[in-house]
Amino acid sequence: MSKKLPPLHLLSIFEASARHENFKAASEELCITPSAVSHQVKSLEAFLGFELFLRKSRGVSLNSAGKVYLHYVQQGLSKLEQGTKVVSNKFSNPALKITTFPTMASNAIIPQLGLFQQSHPEIDIRIETGMQLTDLRYDDSDLAIRLGNGNWPGVISKKLMSLQVHALCSPEFAKQYQLKSPEQIADVPLIDLSNMDNVWQMWAKELALDIKDFKHKLTFSHYEASLQAAEQGLGLALAVLPVENQLLERNLLVSPFAVSAPYFKDLYAVYREEDEDRHDILCFIDWLIRSPLLKVRS
């Protein structure tokens, strides 16, 4: 086969230089010297037979040819990266990389993870937590356990279960205020979430409770912090079950009212379309669905 393509490393150096329009910035990203970047760009231009940059006294900028070529180089490098991930995931044996929100990991996955490892010692697990939505088309995670409506593009979304919102508090708090009826939320300290406006009003509305005023004593920006505050007896917090069943099993929190409201999002397992038959992903999803910590409490 005749030589028609330039070396891959030249394309990578060109892409970084073109993106920054600065050889020094490209050199810092690539961990090589600015003179090496300049030399390699000239090598690529010599290979192609035309210049890609306009050299200026204070830097460089793409010329017309460079702008057109950058478009194709970025597409090619992106396709090569995606293809490498697909083949690597299919034919190598890497750890199953799972991303999920913090309390899902701490209260629903980790307490039973030892049982999964006993059943599947051949599968290594790596769990990353965070509230930011992961785009599996470009991220290196294999499986996302997330809340939503399942309409994410370019991936498989398998609904695991519907969720319910319960009012939870510490056993001591429930005893102190003799909590028995949801109407009592008007008379006790409530723990609020700053990223969800009027969350207690919405919960009360779902239960057809005619309550106008609430005693908001504490507000947190993170859901897990609100649950920790409830464990300390600081008020009632709203929690999503069965995700937080572990807190009830350990008697850290109790559900004083025999009512709940449906959560507006469901729990999904999300993975790439090309991974629909991956053994490790399917095994983990099946185990998660059957986990006793995610059973609906009677």
Give 68-86 pLDDT, tens digit per residue. Answer: 999 999 999 999 988 887 7
In the chain, the domains with their CATH numbers are: 8-86 (1.10.10.10), 96-161+265-294 (3.40.190.10), 164-262 (3.40.190.10)
Mean pLDDT of 56-65: 89
Q: Is the pLDDT of residue 2 over 80?
A: no
Q: Do 113 and 145 touch, CB atoms closer than 8 A?
A: no
Q: What local confidence, expressed as pLDDT, does residue 56 receive?
A: 85
Question: Which tokens belong to 65?
Answer: 């040819």
The helix, strand and coil proportions of the chain, stated in percent and rounded to the nearest 5, come to 45, 20, 35
Q: Do 234 and 191 touch, CB atoms closer than 8 A?
A: yes
For 41-50, the pLDDT digits (tens) are: 999 999 999 9
For 181-198, the pLDDT digits (tens) are: 999 999 999 999 988 888
The pTM (predicted TM-score) of the whole model is 0.69
Mean pLDDT for the chain overall: 91
C-alpha 137 chain-centroid distance: 12
Q: Is the pLDDT of residue 53 over 60?
A: yes
Q: What local confidence, expressed as pLDDT, does residue 242 receive?
A: 96
Strands of the chain, DSSP E: 53-56, 59-62, 96-100, 125-129, 143-148, 155-161, 164-168, 189-193, 215-220, 237-241, 261-262, 266-272
Q: What local confidence, expressed as pLDDT, does residue 89 receive?
A: 63
> Burial of 41 by CB count in 10 Å (0-12 exposed, 13-18 middle, 19+ buried)?
buried
Q: What local confidence, expressed as pLDDT, does residue 147 receive?
A: 94
The residue that leads in pLDDT, 295 or 106, is 106
